[in-house]
Amino acid sequence: MTDEFQNGVAAGRSERRHGDGLVPSMIGALEPPPLPETGPRPAAQKVSPEELALIERIRAGERELFMELVRPYQKIVYSMAVSILKSEQDAEDVAQEALFKAFKNLAQFRGECKFSTWIIQITVNEARHRLRRANRAALGSIDAGIESDEGDYIPIDLADWREIPSEALQRKELRECLHRAIGTLKPIYRDVLVLRDVQHMSVAETAEMLKISEASVKTRLLRARLQVRDALAPGIDGSWNVGSTTYKRVRSF
């Protein structure tokens, strides 16, 4: 059994100030109610009692309940996979493989981290494994720590960017450009961005998952956010805004 399944991640307090994008089960997991004093696994403090009970039943042989356990996380798993692989088909395969590995290794889940954290870790490992097998160009900097975090990032331009109404994301062009912008990031920056801003993990959780310092998480996150901003910033034309009749391609692709 590999460490990826045995290690719980010391999940810190969520630093997000809003619940946007969090699925209900994750919101509940942020501040779980106190566990009973005599639970089946005393170490479990990050998992809700309902989830823990479900896990125990699956371990006891009710295998069909696994889908109920992972259904709230399917989208998280998929989004993690697609953000790493940049391919919907590959992401689908990896999501399926990651979930199956989670099933096979459920006995190794010790409840020392949130179940979502554990399953995301499996997904990240599986997606990276697939990238390595495919020997893609991105392989070079995939291992955290190879590239220095040193060096400041200078924004390309400082043009104003109007506020984006949430409806703007309904536009397929914007979603696709967002995916491409994330895809252009070097993996060490992309991983941090996805964990922090897509999966809404805390700095501490992200650092633990990627085995880097919290300072590195912050440095990489800064660079990632600014690079995506540069890739997407449409300038003062405000073409992302709903109501605009023209779509202006962003400058990086």
Of the candidates 253, 122, 96, 123, the residue with the CA atom closest to the CA atom of residue 183: 253
Binding of other proteins at residue 232 (CB under 8 A)? yes
CB of 97 within 8 A of CB of 129?
no
Task: Work out how close the CB of 161 gets to other proteins at its nearest, in angstroms, rounded to a whole number.
Answer: 4
**AA identity, residue 215:** A
Residue 233 contacts other proteins per CB under 8 A:
yes
The answer to whether 120 and 95 are in contact (CB under 8 A) is: no
Binding status of residue 237 toward other proteins by CB under 8 A: no
- According to the binding rule CB under 8 A, does residue 169 interact with other proteins? yes
**Closest Cα to residue 46, out of 26, 69, 62?**
26
Which of 45, 103, 136, 147 touches other proteins (CB under 8 A)?
Answer: 103
User: Is residue 164 a contact point for other proteins (CB under 8 A)?
Assistant: yes
> Are 47 and 8 in contact, with CB atoms under 8 Å apart?
no
Interatomic CA distance for residues 104 and 91, integer angstroms: 20
Residue 129 is a binding residue for other proteins (CB under 8 A): no
Angle at which helices 74-85 and 172-183 cross, to 10°: 60
Q: Which residues contact 88 (CB under 8 A, 6 or more apart)?
A: 82
Of the pair 10, 67, the CB lying nearest other proteins is at: 67
Given a contact cutoff of 8 angstroms between Cβ atoms, the answer to whether 191 and 172 are in contact is: no
Contact pattern for other proteins over residues 174 through 213, marking x by CB under 8 A: xx--xx--x----------x---xx-x--x----------
Please report whether residue 154 would count as binding other proteins according to CB under 8 A.
Answer: yes
Instruction: Please report how close the Cβ of residue 42 comes to other proteins at its closest, in angstroms.
Output: 28
Task: Give the binding site for other proteins (CB under 8 A).
Answer: 15, 17, 20-21, 63-64, 66-67, 71, 74-75, 78-79, 82-83, 88, 92, 95-96, 99-100, 103-104, 152-155, 158-164, 166, 168-170, 174-175, 178-179, 182, 193, 197-198, 200, 203, 218, 221-222, 225-226, 228-229, 232-233
